[in-house]
Structure 1
Amino acid sequence: MKVAMIQFLPLCIFLLINTHPLLAAEPEPVVDKQGEPLQPGVGYYVWPLWEDNGGLTLGHTRNKTCPLDVIRDPSFIGSPVTFRAPGLDYIPTETDLTIDFAVKTTCNEPTIWRLLKEGSGFWFLSTGGDSQSLVSKFKIERLAGDHAYEIYSFKFCPSQPGVICAPVGTFVDADGTKVMAIGDNIETYYVRFQKVFTYAQEKNPAFSIL
C-alpha cells in the first residue's frame, strides 16, 4: 500500500500543475502588399488582385441619393479605408471588424460600412453604419495556400449564431456601376491592401471628397 501511494503522488502533483487551460492562438494578422500587418485607424487602398488601380470608393447608385454605396471604380485609385478591431493593435483575419472610409462626403452620414437589403436574398454594401450594429460587422479572409499570402476577401459573417454568412463580391447595376454586394450568384472579390502613406506621393490623391 505504501508503494502504491508513493507511485500515485507524483501523478497528482502533475495533474494539479497542468490544470490551467491552454491559451488560444492569436488571430493571424492581415498584411499589406509589403507584408506588413494592417494597423487600426491607418488608411489603406483596397485594390483588385490583378492591378494597382480600380480600388474601392463611394458612389451614388440606385436612386442616386444618400447613403453612398461601396463601389469599384476602374478609372480611380480608390478611397482610403480604415479598420477597427476592438482590443487589438493590428487587424486580424476572421474577426469582426468595423470598416470606414477615411473621406469627407456630401452626405451628412457616417462612412462606416453596413449591409443594406435591396431585395429578396440580395444586399448592397452601403454606408451610414454604426460600429455597434450587427449589420456593420465584416471579416477579412485570406485566400488559402502559401502562394496567396497577401490575397484576401471580405465577407459578412458576424460572430453571432443564426446570422447570414456570405462573401462580398461585385454586382453590376443597370448603368454599369460595379457595386459591392452579397447575394445569389455574387462571386467572391479578391483584393490586396496598400498603405496610403507608403504609396508614391505623385500618384496619391488621398482623402478625396465625394
Structure 2
Amino acid sequence: MTDVRHARAVWERLDPNDQIVVHDLALAASELRTVVEIAALTGLPDSVAREVSIRLYRAGMLAREGDTQELAVGAIPRLFLPRELAQVFRRVQDEIDAGDLSDSSLRVLLEMLDDTEIEEAATIWGIRVIPGLRRRGDLIGQILRQVASPERIARVVAERSRFATTIRAALLDAGEVARSRSARRSRRPG
C-alpha cells in the first residue's frame, strides 16, 4: 500500500488507538519494538497496545522481525511499521496537519504532491516528461501555464473519465470555477 489515496481510506477506517500506534510508529525512528516499547512510545496501556499490535499485524500493517521464521517459545516479538507504510502514513499525517486547504492556490496544492504525482499531472496536461530529469519547479510552472487556458481545461477534462466531466460541470454550475479565477486575479500584484 504505497498509494496515498488508499492510505487515506485505510486511515479513516482505523480505530483511534490503531491510528495512535500507526502515527507514532510512522514518526518514530524505524527500529524494532516490543509491545511494551510500543505502549511506552504511544502512551497506551500495555494491554491496549498488545490488542492494537495484534490487530495491525493481522491486517498486514505491522511486521515482525524474522516474519517468515517461526517465533521461538517464550521469545518476545519485535514489531515494526514497514518503511513504505511509514512514508505513506507520514504523508497522510502531513495532510491532516495542514488542515483545510480549500482557499490555497493551485501552486501550493501542487507543491504538496510528490515527484511522481507532479510528473503524472504534467503528462495529463500534455507536458513531455522524462522521469527524474525535469525539476519540480519547472514542471509546476508549466502545469500552471497550461491550466490558465479555459479551452485547454475543457480539452483535458474531455480526455479524462466521464466522472471528471461531471465534476467540472458541477463546479461550473456552482460558480466555483469563476470564483477561483476571480480570487486568483485579486491576489495578483499591481
Interval containing the TM-score (normalised by the shorter chain): under 0.3
More helix by share: 2
TM-score, normalization by structure 1:
0.20
TM-score by length of 2: 0.22
Task: Considering fraction of residues, name the structure with more strand.
Answer: 1
* Larger relative contact order (CA 8 Å, sep ≥ 6): 1
